[in-house]
Chains A and B, each alone.
Chain A
Amino acid sequence: MAALTPGFRSRRRAPGDRLPPGQFLTEGFPVLSAGPTPAVATDRWRFTLTTETGDQHVWTWPQLTALPQADVTTDLHCVTRWSKFDTRWRGVSLDMLLDGVDTEARYAWVESYGGYTTNMPLADLRNGRAWIAHTYDGRPLPAEHGGPARLLVPHLYLWKSAKWVSGIRLRINDQQGFWESLGYHAYGDPWREQRTWGD
């Protein structure tokens, strides 16, 4: 589903039209990263939500996996122009993690083990559109694909679905992430081909 922003209504798509413009379908699962794969043991894994006032909400691995789990089947769209249909994930909805978190923030700054960052409007993490995913295709998420856990926000280009996620900072003002500060789009809607700055 394409996101809506104020003053913009996404074009209606024909049923079954699942490939965004400029994309090619792949059966593989290419691996891209901005650095070496960090080894993150689940016994020291933490996910930290930090509000704009500095309040922190921390989950350990046992705490995360004890929460109600969601099974998600979704299409992925990478800015390098490959798309992959019907990927199967399991994880915890961001709605659940954000429930009860007192915030006036409009933006999310996502941080990963290894130093990667990305940014998006906080609204894009709500309403059943984003998860902390730890299982892919019925198996623990491999490290090369972001395990032990990655953010999954599949309605945006895949660089927004940060591998090895360690936390999210809720911010009043937007701040550009790793690729966004090198000319990639601040929002990254694949249906509007928001690949780079100015698209």
Chain B
Amino acid sequence: MGMQDGNALAGPLSEVFAVDVTAAQRLCPGCGTDSAVGALHVYRMATAAVARCPVCGEIAFRIARHAGALWLDFGGGGALRIPVG
């Protein structure tokens, strides 16, 4: 399967977050690119996926949906900026 954009992760992310994270912004610690999560580049393997900066390719986060558990790794992937009231 080829690369997709971050909107492909709206489903599994909605199982973790109370807000639509695909609309959040991420400031890439690697190259400074400010992009929406929905614009990240996503690579999948089975029920796992890795989301990367669309410019430099640095990993933003990894997520997997295995039996009975959702695995989420933000590592050093940069803060998500979620607008609040």
Contacts of B69 in A (CB 8 A): 183
A182 touches B73 (CB 8 A): yes
**Cβ contacts A126-147/B at 8 Å (1 or 0 each):** 0000000000000000000000
A35 touches B48 (CB 8 A): no
Whose C-beta in chain A lies nearest to the C-beta of B50? A34
Interface of A is mostly: loop
Interface-side segment among B5-13, B17-25, B38-46, B76-84: B38-46
Contacts of B3 in A (CB 8 A): 36
Contacts of B44 in A (CB 8 A): 32
Q: Beyond A30-B1, A31-B2, A34-B50, is A183–B43 a contact (Cβ under 8 Å)?
A: no
Query: Which B30-57 residues have a C-beta within 8 angstroms of A?
Result: 41, 43-46, 48, 50, 52, 57
A182 touches B62 (CB 8 A): yes
The tally of residues in B whose CB lies under 8 Å from a CB in A reads 21
Q: How far is the CA of A34 from the CA of B48 in the complex (A)?
A: 10
Q: How far is the CA of A198 from the CA of B69 in the complex (A)?
A: 11
A150, chain B: closest CB distance, angstroms: 15
Contacts of B45 in A (CB 8 A): 32, 34, 79-80, 159, 179
A157, chain B: closest CB distance, angstroms: 10
A182 touches B48 (CB 8 A): yes
Contacts of A196 in B (CB 8 A): 66-67
**Cβ contacts A150-161/B at 8 Å (1 or 0 each):** 000000000100
Q: How far is the CA of A167 from the CA of B45 in the complex (A)?
A: 23
Q: How far is the CA of A31 from the CA of B2 in the complex (A)?
A: 7
Q: How far is the CA of A80 from the CA of B46 in the complex (A)?
A: 5
Whose C-beta in chain A lies nearest to the C-beta of B57? A36
Contacts of A81 in B (CB 8 A): 46
Interface residue from A35, A159, A183, A184 paired with B50 (Cβ < 8 Å): A35
Q: How far is the CA of A32 from the CA of B50 in the complex (A)?
A: 12
Interface residue from A32, A33, A181, A195 paired with B73 (Cβ < 8 Å): A181
Query: Which A164-189 residues have a C-beta within 8 angstroms of B?
Result: 179, 181-184
Q: Which residues of A contact B (CB under 8 A)?
A: 30-36, 79-81, 159, 179, 181-184, 195-198
Listed from nearest, the 6 A-B pairs whose CB atoms lie closest are A183-B71, A196-B66, A80-B46, A183-B66, A182-B64, A183-B64
7 additional A-B pairs beyond A36-B41, A179-B48, beta carbons within 8 Å, are: A31-B2, A32-B44, A35-B59, A36-B57, A80-B45, A182-B71, A196-B66
